[in-house]
Structure 1
Amino acid sequence: MTSTFTRASLAALTATLLCACGGGGSAQSLELTPSREEKLITPDQMLASLAVALVADDYSQTLIFQLFRSQVMDLYQTQTLSGSYPCKVSGSLKLIREGPIWRYSAFDCHNINIQLASGSWTLDTSQAASMGLDLQIKQLVFHKFYSDIPDMVADGSFSVDKPGAGGLEQQGRLSLSYGGETRIYEQIALSGSFSSGSGSQQERGLLVSRSPGTPLPLRMQLRQGRLMTVSAADGSNVSTDLGSTGDYVLELRLSAQGPVVLSRQISRKDLQLAIVKARL
């Protein structure tokens, strides 16, 4: 299975989205009360909220299900016996096979675009034919996934189902720790086709329950692979079309179905800078 959303393509998209706070905007009076301000996406938080959501989507989708799944998790299809297996570039994986359970440990495993310094994962295939696969990740160290951040330690659990050729559905939770901070993403969900040229049909979503980039829990929804909405607990939200060919227009609403109270044009370069800041 090959996804159109590779790390390179998302990096290009990220560069496309980079923040910029200039541009024409119109605003109505927001009339915030102290109680609402605690959970409201404010004009000052529009860009940061969007960037935090894009980083969360990158980590949960690209890191785990583009690279980890395609290069590592699918090894169970060819590695059926317990033992030590060499990685594609260097290092090794140790497998303990117990019936439908594959237990892997990484030893400086370098598999092309993914480097696993240490840690382990367990793959339960007992219901693969009907319900899909269950994946548990424990203290898995991703080495230098991005050059500007230190090694990431990942813990998480996922269920993955391939309902048809080229399709994928998943749900999960992911915790990533690095640089003295922990990011927690919950209710990670994806459905849609991965066949060539149809990635735009993907529907993705997650809850950013903890991130150093924002004081707010944020819910991200991505529709048709390009229409992103990031919402706070009270329904206030910022949305944009990631498929824009020029600058991006961020629209702020105070409720899920409310009118746009602020529209702001964001350059690709500035969104990129905001994404880098949210990642650090």
Structure 2
Amino acid sequence: MTYLSLKDVSFTYPNGFEAVQQVNIDFELGESVAIIGQNGAGKTTTVKLMNGLLRPTKGDVLLAGKKTEKLTTAQMSHFVGYVFQNPDDQIFQDTIYNEISFGPKNQKLSKNEVLQKVQAAAELCGLEGVLQEHPYNLPYSKRKFITIAAVIATDPKVIILDEPTAGQDRQSTELLGRIINQLTKEGKTVITITHDMEFVVSEFSRVIVFAEKQKRREGTPAEIFWDETLLTISHLKQPYICQLAKLLGCDGVMTIQELLEVKEYEASMD
């Protein structure tokens, strides 16, 4: 069932720059969705329209079929949480515990409920041992997990991650994958803006491509990354495994395992 929808949404900034043109997207609960495209394609503007940080110039944003134009940004954040690309734009408390607990406390939850929310979010994000640390005692890459945990603790149905893998090592990227997998298992929708095509292939079942202020196509990773015309128009590159598969004449392959299976089959036919 569709939970979040953008219907013919456009947005023009006060200076007259039109950033998004007639975007239509529907999101169901429990799905993981990647939004990709070059800088300036309209990705970040679009997701900020989803949680009320920006308001459409034209069109409508709907939650469970109801227009959100009368909801405040604070009210929208209860349903659609947004994790900024730069954690330093979001962190403002003196301990990691206080940062994660800020949202639940403002939801008027009991002390026990707040504690449970913080512990669950901290454990999922690998922060359970550092809750009394000052956020800036952790490196930039780890501060990203503080902001992710802070949004998770408020329990929105939709969570938007803006470039979560930027500056992350392999271990942290794998943790991000586990977080997304767990959230979708809980019936939440995770929408992620990323330039990391390998991360898209490994973690997302649905990909939306933006180019020149519009949504160009959506589909599975295979449908997107083997559409060479789309990639050219959108100025995107195939993931490395697809590039290798193409060199080996194995179009359509998306993983190393698939590539090995194709080559083994070919060898058996010789």
Q: Same fold (TM over 0.5)?
A: no
Higher helix share: 2
Higher strand share: 1
TM score, norm. by length of structure 2:
0.30
TM score, norm. by length of structure 1:
0.30
